[in-house]
Amino acid sequence: VELPARGPTRTKGSVLMWINTTQTSDEGLLWYTNDQTSGDGFDDEELHINIEDGGDAGEVHFYLGEDSAGGDIYLQSPGPVADGTWHHVAATWDLADGAKLYVDGVQVASVPHNNNVVAPVIMRLGYSASGARYYDGLMDDVRLFNYAVSAAKVAEIMSKGEDPLRAGSPTP
């Protein structure tokens, strides 16, 4: 799915979604953005959330490829989520609070963030700019924010979904 390249910015943003997959090969991209109209998810200056293959098969990875002035930001879940059940995945980044990865409402990784991430010109769900690294699974309730949502907001969105008055449920 091609999205307008707006919302999350180079300095801050959030991507939240429900996923259900058994994919453990071909590094499926859940969310992808780049500063160019090309790229396959292995380049610098990209931001993406993916299901990993190889030694980390089935884990969620969050990558912020920075320009030549800084180092890449790379976060990963502590274990696989590609088990055929629904999982809530969230990635947030902000200069003040750093980059964070959440799985099922729990923060599983964090690192500092600097201002070297480039501005996106292309944004997609499920594949890269070059049309490679397709995600194979279900995705629901995808949310993009132009700010880093708090841990409490991640948990609230995960538990209540579209209706903030609903009691909540752990699956979509």
Calculate the alpha carbon distances from 57 to 28, 71, 79, 100 in Å. 11, 24, 9, 20
pLDDT at 46 over 90: no
Distance CA 156, CA 134 (A): 29
Q: For the chain, what percent of residues have pLDDT higher than 90?
A: 41
Pick 63 or 69 by higher pLDDT: 63
Pick 1 or 135 by higher pLDDT: 135
- Give the mean model confidence (pLDDT) for residues 120-129: 80
Confidence class for position 118, pLDDT limits 50, 70, 90: low
- Give the mean model confidence (pLDDT) for residues 30-34: 85
Pick 122 or 94 by higher pLDDT: 94
pLDDT at 120 over 80: no
For 69-97, the pLDDT digits (tens) are 566 788 999 999 999 999 999 999 988 88
Q: What strands lie across the sheet with 106-111, from one edge to the other?
A: 106-111, 98-103, 87-94, 12-21, 137-145
User: Tell me, what amino acid is at 2?
Assistant: E
- Give the mean model confidence (pLDDT) for residues 39-45: 64
Check residue 133 and give its pLDDT: 83
Check residue 130 and give its pLDDT: 76
The candidate with the shortest Cα–Cα distance to 89, out of 64, 107, 67, is: 107
pTM for this entry: 0.87
Confidence class for position 61, pLDDT limits 50, 70, 90: very high
The candidate with the shortest Cα–Cα distance to 97, out of 113, 109, 108, is: 113
pLDDT at 103 over 80: yes
